[in-house]
């Protein structure tokens, strides 16, 4: 299965024509995308969705993410989850503890250190083992990266679609929203971890293509790294699961 990216414009429509999504774009041929081949849907730009299409995605367990023009998450549509309840139950058990929030923040901080140091190493820092969020962010803001203002925000939106699909497989569906509040915003935290892996690749891309990319170019860039993102996400979920098992 692959993600479906819908870059809309005025007059664009998504309908359900069993067993596929039917996408109508002005001045383009109608396209059909079978639900069995779709892992998630990411929508940017104006697109009219039929309720049948949204419900079909929900029944198939396909999350639909709607992005603003700047790439930020505007809304999301989550469907039925799979049967991997073990991680969900471990998280529920964690939240029964009085020290749940502090323990989770400690775990997240350790994961963040790993992500930052990995990014610093790939950027060529000799002292990458000493890198921290503040110092590396300061360096990035002072490099050519700042020329592409807003690109990391757009990537966060694309990452959110991957993360939500991954969490959905573990039972974190729309009925589990209460697990994503306060200091335990799993989707947001996972995106903030994964974005560090993009900075070395973004900087290398920018050196050869100084013009800020449009949404289509950014999606293509993201898709070239999608397998790596999914691999890293599975690693984060596995580490979270092992940590939760150690707490029990």
Q: What torsion, rounded to 10 degrees, do the Cα atoms 229, 231, 233, 238 define?
A: -170
Q: How many CB atoms lie within 10 A of CB 11?
A: 12
- Predicted pLDDT at 30: 93
DSSP states along 135-183? HHHHHHHHSGGGGSTTHHHHHHHHHHHHHHHHHHHTT-SGGGGGGSBTT
pLDDT band (50, 70, 90) for residue 88: confident
- The yes/no answer on whether domain 2-77 falls in CATH 3.100.10.20 is yes
pLDDT band at 222 (very low <50, low <70, confident <90, very high): very high
Question: Averaged over 175-192, what is the pLDDT?
Answer: 71
Mean pLDDT of 11-16: 94
Residues 127 and 136: beta-carbon distance below 8 Å: no
Per-residue pLDDT of 19-78, as tens digits, reads: 999 999 998 999 999 998 888 899 998 999 999 999 999 888 788 999 887 778 888 887
Whether 83 has a pLDDT exceeding 50, the answer reads no
Helix (H) or strand (E) holding 112: helix 100-122
Cβ(164)–Cβ(77) under 8 Å? no
Average pLDDT over residues 114-118: 95
- Per DSSP, the three-state class of 3 is strand
Given a cut of 60, whether residue 129 has pLDDT beyond it is yes
pLDDT given at position 84: 42
> Over 80: is that where the pLDDT of 86 sits?
no
Write down the domain spans for the chain. Answer: 2-77, 86-247
The answer to whether residue 207 scores a pLDDT higher than 70 is yes
Rounded Cα–Cα distance for residues 22 and 137 (Å): 43
Please give the C-alpha separations between residue 172 and each of 68, 150, 243, in angstroms, as whole numbers. 24, 29, 18
């Amino acid at each position: 299965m692959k993600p479906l990216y819908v870059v809309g414009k005025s007059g664009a429509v998504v309908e359900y024509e069993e067993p596929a999504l039917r996408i109508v774009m002005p001045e383009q041929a109608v396209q059909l995308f079978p639900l069995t081949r779709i892992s998630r849907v990411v929508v940017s730009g104006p697109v009219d969705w039929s309720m049948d299409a949204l419900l079909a995605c929900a029944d198939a367990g396909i999350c639909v993410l709607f992005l603003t023009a700047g790439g930020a998450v505007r809304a999301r549509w989550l469907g039925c989850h799979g049967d991997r309840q073990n991680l969900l139950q471990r998280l529920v058990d964690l939240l029964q503890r009085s020290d749940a929030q502090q323990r989770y923040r400690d775990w997240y901080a350790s994961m963040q250190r790993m992500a930052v140091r990995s990014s610093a190493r790939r950027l060529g820092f000799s002292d990458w083992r000493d890198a921290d969020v503040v110092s590396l962010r300061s360096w990035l803001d002072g490099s050519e990266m700042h020329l592409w203002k807003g690109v990391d925000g757009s990537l966060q939106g694309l990452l959110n679609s991957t993360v939500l699909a991954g969490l959905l497989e573990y039972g974190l569906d729309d009925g589990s929203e209460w697990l994503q509040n306060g200091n335990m915003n799993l989707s947001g935290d996972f995106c903030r971890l994964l974005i560090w892996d993009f900075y070395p690749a973004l900087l290398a891309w920018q050196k050869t293509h100084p013009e800020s990319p449009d949404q289509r170019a950014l999606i293509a860039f993201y898709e070239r790294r999608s397998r790596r993102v999914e691999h890293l996400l599975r690693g984060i979920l596995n580490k979270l699961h092992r940590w939760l098992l150690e707490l029990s």
